Amino acid sequence: MHFGEARAAGVGAYAVILVVDDDKNTRLLFRAVLENAGYTVSAASDGSEALALMDSEHIDLVVLDIMMPKMDGYEFTKTLRECDNNLPILMVFAKQLPIDKNKGFAVGTDDYMTKPVNQDEFLYRIKALLRRAKIANERKIVVGDVILDYDSLTVTKGNEVQELPQKEFMLLYKLLSYPGKIFTRIQLMDEIWGAESETGWETVTVHVGRLRKRFEGWSEFEIESVRGLGYKAVKKV
């Protein structure tokens, strides 16, 4: 099973979202919300149909119901992950029980929501998941003589190679993926630590401080604080 061609995840109007739900009205609702936001939408009524569709269409993200005939959401997700497919998945539960959420994360979902979904939050979570997937798929950033390698979590400059802790690296990678763009601490928390993380936004401040100390004196880039807003990365080359 190859489940479509791999490419960097699209963002905005170029992203293709697969809605998998056995309820026709839910599929129609999600399609309307997503298309109104500029996404292209495909739909399937169960996991088996979704896998078949993915063999012929490129998909950037899956919005996935849990309880479905033939192949439920858990089995679908487990199948994808066993094939090393890291497509972002947003599970949508009809009810929220800790055991359901835990099982979802155990098989490999990236995020979850409970029906009925808040449409604004729904779109926000999808956008955040697509951004994370885009960063993961592009894999490398070059800033002058500096190379950030996502696969090895390393920052290289000439003969100097620094291997960073995962969250520290992801924070730097995120900021340098959008040089000059201001990110709030809450945005960075949600996209790197996850919307469900119990870690406070102060963690972002701590990690920024570590990055500044680590790369103090490097002329290629710096992380600037924007008073009252958050942080941005500035390329100097």
Domain that holds residue 62: 12-135
Domain of 106: which CATH number? 3.40.50.2300
- Tell me, yes or no, whether 111 and 164 share the same domain: no
Q: Is residue 107 part of a domain?
A: yes
Q: Can you tell me the mean pLDDT for 188-197? A: 79
Indicate if the pLDDT at residue 206 is higher than 80.
yes
pTM (predicted TM-score): 0.57
pLDDT of residue 13: 46
Domain count, the chain: 2
Reported as a single tens digit per residue, the pLDDT across 126-137 is 998 998 787 667
Average pLDDT over residues 101-123: 91
pLDDT at residue 234, as a whole number: 94
What average pLDDT score do residues 8-14 get? 48
Q: What is the pLDDT of residue 9?
A: 46
Query: Phi/psi at 202 (nearest 5 deg)?
Result: -60, -25
For residue 147, what pLDDT is reported? 93
In the DSSP assignment, the letter for residue 41 is E
With DSSP H G I counted as helix, E B as strand and the rest as coil, what are the percentages for the chain, rounded to 5? 40, 25, 35
Last residue of a domain, one of 105, 135, 165: 135
pLDDT on residue 150? 86
Check if the beta carbon of residue 68 is closer than 8 Å to that of residue 94. Answer: no
Which one of 93, 113, 135 terminates a domain? 135
Dist CA 156 CA 227 (whole Å): 30
Please tell me the number of Cα atoms within 13 Å of 110 on its side-chain side: 24
Q: Are residues 145 and 216 in the same domain?
A: yes
Domain contains 40: yes
